[in-house]
Amino acid sequence: MLSSIDIEKKRRALYTIEDIVSAMKAYAGVTIRRTDELVQNVRVYENNLILAMYDLTTHYPGISLRGQNKGKRILVAFGSSQGLCGPFNEKIADTVSRVATSNDILFVIGKRLKLSLELKQTKYEDYCDSVASINGIQSALKDTVLKIMNIYRKEEYYNLTLIFTYIFEKKAEISVKQTLPPDMHKEGALSQTRVPPYTYLEPKKIFEKILEEFLFISLYRGYVESLRSENWYRMRSMEGASETLKRQLSDLNAMQMYTRQEEITEEMLEILGSGMFFKK
């Protein structure tokens, strides 16, 4: 049986771990709260860009996109570089393995996702680290856009699809979303502008700029949604760890009290056995 001193050492170690878990829970909670409103705004902005492109192609038939069912496809999968987020990366890796084909080029974001894909022997073209906070998205996004556009400029590549996790009604879902060419008819048919927009610039130039902005904001959304989901998973992992630590500490506290009582009893028996209480 462990001594009370050994049990005390274990208690202190568990309390230290509990402090670390609490700090990680707090950080994950802050990230989730910071991304909540941001995610909603990005979704609305992305949809508005789709509607703008739909209006331009409707009122100016000369503007067209590459065929949606032609050519090869670039897949961008968003994962995490940090751990302790449960099955977050494994579920993305499962989805990638299911939807990717031999003609696709896979671009991986997140070291942990890369390792999960390597375990499944899924090949990828390029990789970069994911972000740990909102502040890191902007710089990471520039590198990602540059790498993707270098591939997308090749004539055989027509489609760009993003794979990321998002939170919907307190559940984690995985989106396999075609970004280029955008599916304008799905959203635009619901709110078409009847009056042609009045423009100072050529409609084609406006469309190209909107398309560039749409690519940028879609990738930005992938980063934000993925960061939010990663911390959503991490929060739940830390909550589970916190409950486990509480049970272990409760067991150790009970064990310490029992062990201390046994030690006191043994000390009393030794004292009584030594004859210190017998008078001459």
pLDDT tens per residue, range 147-192: 887 777 776 667 889 999 999 988 999 999 888 888 766 555 555 5
In a domain, 29, yes or no: yes
What CATH number did the domain enclosing 152 receive?
A: 3.40.1380.10
Residue 173's DSSP bridge partners are 166
Q: Is the pLDDT of residue 114 over 60?
A: yes
In a domain, 97, yes or no: yes
Q: How many other CB atoms are found less than 10 A from the CB of residue 93?
A: 25
In a domain, 88, yes or no: yes
CA nearest neighbour of 157 among 71, 68, 69:
71
Q: Is the pLDDT of residue 30 over 90?
A: yes
- The confidence score (pLDDT) of residue 224 equals 97
Collapsing DSSP states into helix, strand and coil, what is residue 181? Answer: coil
> In this structure, are residues 163 and 92 in contact, taking their beta carbons and an 8 Å threshold?
yes
Q: Give me the number of domains the chain comprises.
A: 1
In a domain, 145, yes or no: yes
In a domain, 8, yes or no: no
Residue 102's pLDDT band, with cuts at 50, 70 and 90, is confident
Q: Which domain holds residue 160?
A: 23-235
- The confidence score (pLDDT) of residue 7 equals 85
In a domain, 176, yes or no: yes
pLDDT digits (tens, 9 = 90+) for 245-255: 999 999 988 88
- The confidence score (pLDDT) of residue 276 equals 55
Mean residue pLDDT across the chain:
86
- The confidence score (pLDDT) of residue 202 equals 87
In a domain, 221, yes or no: yes
Q: What is the mean pLDDT of residues 67-96?
A: 87
Q: Counting runs of H as helices and runs of E as strands, what totals does the chain give?
A: 6, 5
- The confidence score (pLDDT) of residue 12 equals 92
In a domain, 12, yes or no: no
Q: What is the mean pLDDT of residues 208-218?
A: 91
- For the entire predicted model, the pTM comes to 0.84
